Structure 1
Amino acid sequence: MIRDGIKAAQIQAMKGGDKARLAAVRLILAKLKDRDIELRTATQVPDDDVIVVDVLQKMVKQRRESIAMYEQGGRAELAAQEQAELEVIESFLPRQMSEDETRAAIEAIKAEVGATSVKDMGKVMAVLKDRHGTVLDMSKASAMVKAALAS
C-alpha cells in the first residue's frame, strides 16, 4: 500500500535527519488526512491507493505550476525548493504509462466503445480513467484522446 510506504518514509527521514524530505512527506500526509476527512461524508469511498494517487497527482501538478511561476518571477531558490518537494512526491507515485502505452490503451478503448468522433470523448475518458487513472496523467491523456478521435 502506498500510504504505508509514505509513513515508513516519514520514520526513515526522522531517523536520518533529512529535514527537507521529512517536510515534504509531512505535507503529503497532511493532504491525505484532509482528503480522508472530506471522504467521511461520501457515500461511495474509492480504494485507498486510488485516493493516495489522486492526492499525489494533484500535488505534483501544483508543484509544477509553482515552479513555472517562480522561474518566471526570477525566484530560483523557491523553484529549487518546489523541485525538491516534487521529487519526493513523485517517488511515491506508481510508474506512469509511457506515451506509446497510453496511445495503445486509447486505441483499444476507442475500438471497444465504438468511438468515432470527438463527441464520444466522454465515453473514452471514463473508461480510460477507470482502468488506468492511477498510472496516467489525465490532462495529457485528454489531449491524446482528443487527437485520436479528431483523426
Structure 2
Amino acid sequence: MSLLQQLTSDMVTAMKKRDKETLNVVRMLKATVQNEQIELGHDLNSNEEIAVMAQEYKQRKESLEEFEKAGREDLISQAKKELAIVESYMPKQLSKDEVTNIVEGVINELNASSMKDFGKVMKSVMPKVQGQADGKLVNQVVKEQLNK
C-alpha cells in the first residue's frame, strides 16, 4: 500500500472516529504528498515518500523546540501529538549506536582521517540513513568519529 493510500485510509478512519486532531494532521500530510507528486509530475517512490515525511517530521520537531523555548504549554502538547502522528508514517528511527556503526563503516570505506573529509563522509552516510536518522544526529556522530 502506498503512502497516499495509507493516508486516505487513515483519514477515513479518523473521520469515522470523529478524531479531529488526527484528521487535520493526516489531511495536511496527504496534501503535502499530493503537492510533491504534482511538483515532480509522477507518483512518488518509497524514497521520495520518506523524504516528504522526514521534512514534515523535521518541521514539527523544530516547531516543538521553539514552543518549548517560548514556554507555550498549549502549543507544546499539540506539537507533540502531531509529531507522534507524523512519526507513525516514517520508518523506524535509528539509535545513536546504529548511526555510529554506519558512520564508522563509511569512514573506514573512504579512509577518512580528519575533519577535511567531513563533507565526503556526510555525502556517503546521508543516503544510507535517509528518513531513519535526524541530520543533526548524523552530523554530531560524524564530527565525533572524525575527531578521535
Q: What TM-score, normalized to structure 2?
A: 0.87
1:1-151 correspondence to structure 2 within 5 Å: 1-40=2-41, 48-151=45-148
| Alpha-carbon separation, structure 1, partners of 2:105 and 2:90 | 25
Deviation string for 1:28-85 (max 9, x for gaps)?
1111122223323xxxx89622222222222222212222322333321122112111
Shift, 1:103, TM fit: 0.5
**Structure 2: 5+ residue runs without aligned partners?**
none
Distance 1:85 1:128, change over 3 A: same
Distance 1:136 1:69, change over 3 A: closer
Is the CA contact (8 Å cut-off) linking 2:96 and 2:137 kept in structure 1? no
Write out the 4+ residue segments of structure 1 that deviate beyond 4 Å after TM superposition.
none
Is the CA contact (8 Å cut-off) linking 1:3 and 1:49 kept in structure 2? no
**Structure 1: 5+ residue runs without aligned partners?**
none
Is the CA contact (8 Å cut-off) linking 2:64 and 2:79 kept in structure 1? yes
Letter in 2 for 1:146: K
| Alpha-carbon separation, structure 2, partners of 1:143 and 1:2 | 30
| Alpha-carbon separation, structure 1, partners of 2:98 and 2:69 | 33
Q: What TM-score, normalized to structure 1?
A: 0.86
| Alpha-carbon separation, structure 2, partners of 1:89 and 1:59 | 7
| Alpha-carbon separation, structure 2, partners of 1:79 and 1:30 | 23
| Alpha-carbon separation, structure 2, partners of 1:113 and 1:124 | 7
| Alpha-carbon separation, structure 2, partners of 1:46 and 1:121 | 34
Please, what is the CA RMSD of the aligned residues? 2.0
Distance 1:142 1:14, change over 3 A: same
Identity level (%): 31
